[in-house]
Amino acid sequence: MLNLPFPQMKHQEKPPEDNLTELIEFVLLDFADVPHLQWLLFGLFLVIYIIIVMSNGIIFLITKLDPSLQTPMYFFLGNFSFLEICYVSVTLPRMLMNLWTQRRTISLVACASQMCCILVLGTTECFLLAVMAYDRYMAICNPLHYPLMMNHKTCIQLAAGSWISGIPVQIGQTVQIFTLPFCGSNLIDHFFCDIPPVLKLACGNTFGNEMMVYIVVVLIVTVPFLLILISYSKIISTILKLHSATSRAKAFSTCSSHLTVVVLFFGSAIITYLRPKASHSARIDKVLSLFYTVVTPLFNPLIYSLRNKEVITALRKLLCK
């Protein structure tokens, strides 16, 4: 039996609502079920965090400094790299602190703040990936109108809209979840405050909250994903009509990088939030969450740099300087 140094937990039985005691903190279990791997996991995630911050930071830097990368595609890529740094910084530092200190408590306010930040940044990522797909659609399917349609002002507006649009919705959703009464166990079997494990600890009927989560996910995750698929179906159709094999290869190379990130992020997010509640498993949820919070930010620089000669050239210039 695993003996963990957790504070005294609440009783597992859910008391009547008039006898509820106000819960002021949760316990993030993260990877407490493998105590012999704590230091290994700490070292692994620390290295991953450093790689994510440095590699995405370099891409953000070269897209701002290199004159040859001052195009809409690299403008959005710079935004995306900066977003990945913010996204991973909401979860990994807390996880590293828990693994280092073995104190896994998190206050109610900190938990709500973490959830809200993850939801807002996740929404931004959905919209930004859709905007990047639209940019590729315009560049390949409407090359003559591309400079006019995707001018600097339009790019700023699309990026700003991606960053701002999800804020009111996700703040409202977070407030709705954390105004629920919590009773019974205060153990969150996850490495950050995500919606499914937190809702499990709520008392009473949470059907309304679960339906709201499904509606928001459909609007914010599924709709952009479908728009991306529609854009790429038209892009692929246009590419196949190109007469030059070199042009086709270049177009496919540019799009395949973005598509890889889309599949990694949207695939894991959709399965996490839209699969039936009965099929939810703490271990599966952790693995899926690692994909869209850690794996995607980790592979993003590799996917875009290794397959992109312009990025590699700009990186060499930066290193030579």
The answer to whether residue 266 sits within a structural domain is yes
For the chain, list residues with pLDDT below 50.
Answer: 1-21
The answer to whether residue 263 sits within a structural domain is yes
Q: At residue 273, what are phi and psi to the nearest 5 degrees? A: -100, -20
The answer to whether residue 16 sits within a structural domain is no
CA end-to-end span of the chain, whole Å? 57
Helix or strand (DSSP H, E) at 261: helix 245-274
Domain membership of residue 43 as a residue range = 28-320
Helix or strand (DSSP H, E) at 25: strand 25-28
The answer to whether residue 19 sits within a structural domain is no
Q: Taking the model in full, what pTM does it have?
A: 0.87
Give Cβ neighbours of residue 284 (< 8 Å, ≥ 6 apart).
none
Distance CA 255, CA 305 (A): 13
For 128-172, what is each residue's pLDDT tens digit? Answer: 999 999 999 999 899 899 999 999 999 999 999 999 999 999 999
The answer to whether residue 219 sits within a structural domain is yes
The answer to whether residue 134 sits within a structural domain is yes
DSSP calls for 157-197: HHHHHHHHTTHHHHHHHHHHHHTS-B-S--EE-SSS--HHH
Distance CA 45, CA 49 (A): 6
DSSP class of 20: P
3-state secondary structure of 34: coil
pLDDT at residue number 3: 42
Q: What CATH number is attached to the domain comprising 138?
A: 1.20.1070.10
pLDDT at residue number 174: 95
pLDDT at residue number 26: 92
pLDDT at residue number 94: 94
Provide the number of structural domains found in the chain: 1
pLDDT at residue number 116: 96
Q: Which of 79, 46, 44 is closest to 63 using CA atoms?
A: 79
3-state secondary structure of 107: strand
Helix or strand (DSSP H, E) at 117: helix 108-141
The answer to whether residue 105 sits within a structural domain is yes
Most distant CA atoms of the chain, gap in Å: 74
Q: CA dihedral defined by 306, 309, 310, 312, rounded to 10 degrees? A: 50
